[in-house]
Structure 1
Amino acid sequence: MNQAASTDAAAVPPPPAAPVTSRRLATRDWALIVACAVAVGALGVGWSTQQRLRVLEKELIKRQDDSQGESAQALLLAKQAQDASREAGARVALLDARVSEAALQRTQIEDLIQSLSRSRDENVVADVDAALRVALQQSTITGSTEPLLHALQQADERLQRYNQPRLERVRRALARDLDRVKAVGVSDLSTLTLKLDELVRLVDELPLLAATESRRAPAAAPRSASASEAGASAASWNDHLSAWWDAWPARAWDEVRSLVRVARVQQPEALLLAPEQMYFLRENLKLRLLNARLALLSRQYATAQSDMRDAQGALERYFDPGSRRVQVASDLLKQVAGQTKQVSLPRPDETLAALAAAAAGR
């Protein structure tokens, strides 16, 4: 009888679970699914951030290598400038020696003329010829037409006071040589070097394009606080997750807007200059201008033109073209480059030939 009762009790099915327990299990599954989705999204954001950090690290390494290369180039240019300065000093010493030699030759010629017993006409012709040859040497050494022009004018005035009919041919040749020498436009090296010195002084005051764009960059937009307010005022876990999920795109967009700014730039590499690169850029521009100045003093006009073209390119590439100072410096550099030109000095061959004919008695 007891066995029958137990069998009847085992055959009776258990009562069904309460509805409250099933609802709890459904809520727990839904929360688990949402947590998994959030974890997957977090992993995606983390992977994207890691990739971005790797790209930034590569860019920083590249910029560091470029900075070191430009630093080495600046040091090399400084060494070249020192070598050019020493070479220019040696050339100036050689020019002084030649001028002294020319002065000694002129003194010897004058002593020789005074020691010889010649007629008055022969002395005048010899003096004019010697003065013109010495002036021609001085013009060749200094690269200026002033000594030759002054000697021709003095010779013309002397022959005019002498008033000898047989020397009229020499006077006509002198007039033609004077016109030819006056027509030659020779660069005024002193004025050009002063302009280059002024440009070197202005380099530190010129605004760079990178510094100007950084000052013009807009401030980052304030971050949205809707997610925090929703989280503070939410009453349930589901509402909190929904509010956070809705506010996440706005937060991401605010972060991107605060880090990235899109603008149209003609020279993109001009905006990537670091502060130390800006310093070396200015020093490099100064070295270019100083090299052009030394080349002008040495009358190496091709080298001076090349250095000034490089300086003009640097002004147009890295400095703010809208700045008044940059425009003034660019115009001044263009003026110097336009006035720097190689001019062959004329020779008073016609006057020398006329003097030789007059000394020969023809």
Structure 2
Amino acid sequence: MIASEKDIVEPGSASPAAPGGASRPPRAARSSSRWLFAALVFSVIVIIALGAALWRQQQLIDAVGRESASRYVKLDTQTREAQNRARQSLSVAQDAADKLAALDARLVESQSQQAALEQLYQQLSRGEDEWAMIEVEQALSMAAQQLQLAGNIQSAIAALEVADARLARADRPQFAAVRRTIARDMQRLAALPSLDVTGTASKLDQLIASVDGLPMLASVEPRRAAASNAPATETDAAAPAAPADASWWQRTVAWTVPWRDALLRDTNQLIRIQRIDQPGVLLVSPEQAALLRENLKLRLTSARMALLARQDGPWRADLAAVLEGFNRYFDPEARQTVRAQALLKQVSAVDLNVQAPDIGDSLKAARAVLPRNAPAEPAR
């Protein structure tokens, strides 16, 4: 375009323009090139910044994904371990059931022996003292079976009381030594701590039922402060009014006080500050939360089986794992969590490691009093 303008010469015009006018078009071209280069450099910088931001965002997303996958694998492994423990606990419970079945069989056998002894008494017309000692021996054998097979201290004490009452009704001087021995055994059994199996099992059932309702840290909603429930009008009314002779800036500051208080009140409702020692628990997904709750239920069920089998080691381990799960993954300020932790502490205070004493001295004393010609039944 510039060259064509130079070639066009109007009629009657003078010679070409002066040297000063001929240098203007190249100067304009150089200015346009500078702007174009600056725009290109700016575009490259923007593209590089956007690429770096996108790369950083992708790195964060990949890190969160890897962390979530790792925690999912860990929870899955823990669930499988809990299932293995549950199967082991079921095996232990089966062993306990077999022992109880054996105890029932022994009870039936003892009843059969009792019936046979009664028939023998009727046939041979044994004396009252002889029959009393046979009854006492059977009661003592029953107490020994309760202690050895089931660890039932209360049933053993009841059997000893039956034997002592039978000797008291006979009222014979030769039975005094046997009664003293039975009294010592009853005192030793009564001194042992009582174990409320039924009540403890009921508390474990309550804990199992409450696991699904415990709020997790990953899904806790921010709590509203108590002061935020007050109407905004009360705050506005409590704001100090500016004096009548105040300057314009003082009146402006006084006018913005209600707005500032309202902003602070809304901010307190939206923001919650809480100390969390392990921030990773906030990344637990709903699927992982469901697996965690099932794991805790399996642990509590395993503890219930350990209670019935009176195994103190598995009992302590399962309750400790449940308490750790409560403290780590659930909201410690929620009422449901506080109640569950208190109930779990009550259950953890139960001691299953109670060694029942032997009542062999009472059995020996009773057999020593039996006449030599009486066919005494051996203790089962």
TM-score bracket for this pair, using the shorter chain length: 0.7 to 0.9
Q: Which has the higher mean CA deviation after the structures are superposed, 302-311 or 157-166?
A: 157-166
List runs of 5+ in structure 1 lacking aligned partners. Answer: 1-8, 219-260
Residue 192 of structure 1 pairs with residue 197 of structure 2? no
- Find the counterpart in structure 2 of residue 208 from structure 1: 216
Q: Distance in 2 between matches of 1:265 and 1:154?
A: 60
Residue 108 of structure 1 pairs with residue 113 of structure 2? yes
- Find the counterpart in structure 2 of residue 78 from structure 1: 83
- Find the counterpart in structure 1 of residue 182 from structure 2: 174
Q: Distance in 1 between matches of 2:345 and 2:212?
A: 19
Assess if the C-alpha contact under 8 Å between 1:99 and 1:138 holds in 2. no
Assess if the C-alpha contact under 8 Å between 2:153 and 2:189 holds in 1. yes
Residue 155 of structure 1 pairs with residue 166 of structure 2? no
Q: Distance in 2 between matches of 1:73 and 1:301?
A: 22
AA matched with 2:133: V
Residue 346 of structure 1 pairs with residue 357 of structure 2? yes
- Offset at residue 91 of structure 1 (A): 3.6
Assess if the C-alpha contact under 8 Å between 2:99 and 2:149 holds in 1. no
Q: Distance in 2 between matches of 1:172 and 1:33?
A: 111
Q: Distance in 2 between matches of 1:332 and 1:46?
A: 55
Q: Distance in 2 between matches of 1:189 and 1:17?
A: 111
Q: Distance in 1 between matches of 2:168 and 2:80?
A: 61
Residues 34 and 263 of structure 1: CA distance in aligned 2, closer, same or farther (over 3 Å): farther
Residues 178 and 272 of structure 1: CA distance in aligned 2, closer, same or farther (over 3 Å): same
Q: Distance in 2 between matches of 1:356 and 1:107?
A: 20
- Find the counterpart in structure 2 of residue 243 from structure 1: none
- Find the counterpart in structure 2 of residue 36 from structure 1: 41
Q: Which has the higher mean CA deviation after the structures are superposed, 62-71 or 266-275?
A: 62-71
- Find the counterpart in structure 2 of residue 60 from structure 1: 65
Q: Distance in 1 between matches of 2:99 and 2:274?
A: 56
In the alignment, which of 281, 302, 312 is matched to residue 301 of structure 1? 312
Q: Distance in 2 between matches of 1:347 and 1:85?
A: 29
- Offset at residue 269 of structure 1 (A): 1.8
Assess if the C-alpha contact under 8 Å between 2:311 and 2:352 holds in 1. no
Show the 5 A alignment for 1:214-293: 215-216=221-222, 264-293=275-304
- Offset at residue 72 of structure 1 (A): 4.9
- Find the counterpart in structure 2 of residue 137 from structure 1: 145
Residues 170 and 86 of structure 1: CA distance in aligned 2, closer, same or farther (over 3 Å): closer
Assess if the C-alpha contact under 8 Å between 2:203 and 2:343 holds in 1. yes
- Offset at residue 39 of structure 1 (A): 2.5
- Offset at residue 81 of structure 1 (A): 2.3
AA matched with 2:145: Q
Q: Distance in 2 between matches of 1:262 and 1:32?
A: 50
Aligned residues: 308
Q: Distance in 2 between matches of 1:189 and 1:326?
A: 24
Assess if the C-alpha contact under 8 Å between 1:139 and 1:145 holds in 2. yes
SS at match of 2:352: coil
Assess if the C-alpha contact under 8 Å between 1:207 and 1:323 holds in 2. yes
SS at match of 1:266: coil
AA matched with 1:132: L
SS at match of 2:165: helix
SS at match of 2:19: coil
List runs of 5+ in structure 2 lacking aligned partners. Answer: 1-14, 225-271, 373-380
AA matched with 2:365: A
> For the aligned residues, what is the CA RMSD?
3.1
Residues 78 and 271 of structure 1: CA distance in aligned 2, closer, same or farther (over 3 Å): same
- Find the counterpart in structure 2 of residue 320 from structure 1: 331
- Offset at residue 92 of structure 1 (A): 1.2
Instruction: Describe the superposition over 1:7-62 as per-residue Cα deviations: whole angstroms up to 9, x where unpaired.
Output: xx99x972345779747744652463254135214313322321330332243034
Q: Distance in 2 between matches of 1:217 and 1:127?
A: 69
Q: Which has the higher mean CA deviation after the structures are superposed, 297-306 or 32-41?
A: 32-41
- Find the counterpart in structure 2 of residue 47 from structure 1: 52
SS at match of 2:305: helix
- Offset at residue 334 of structure 1 (A): 1.2
- Offset at residue 262 of structure 1 (A): 9.0
Q: Distance in 2 between matches of 1:17 and 1:329?
A: 94
The TM-score, its normalising length taken from structure 2, stands at 0.72
Residues 169 and 86 of structure 1: CA distance in aligned 2, closer, same or farther (over 3 Å): closer
Residues 217 and 57 of structure 1: CA distance in aligned 2, closer, same or farther (over 3 Å): farther
Assess if the C-alpha contact under 8 Å between 1:113 and 1:126 holds in 2. no
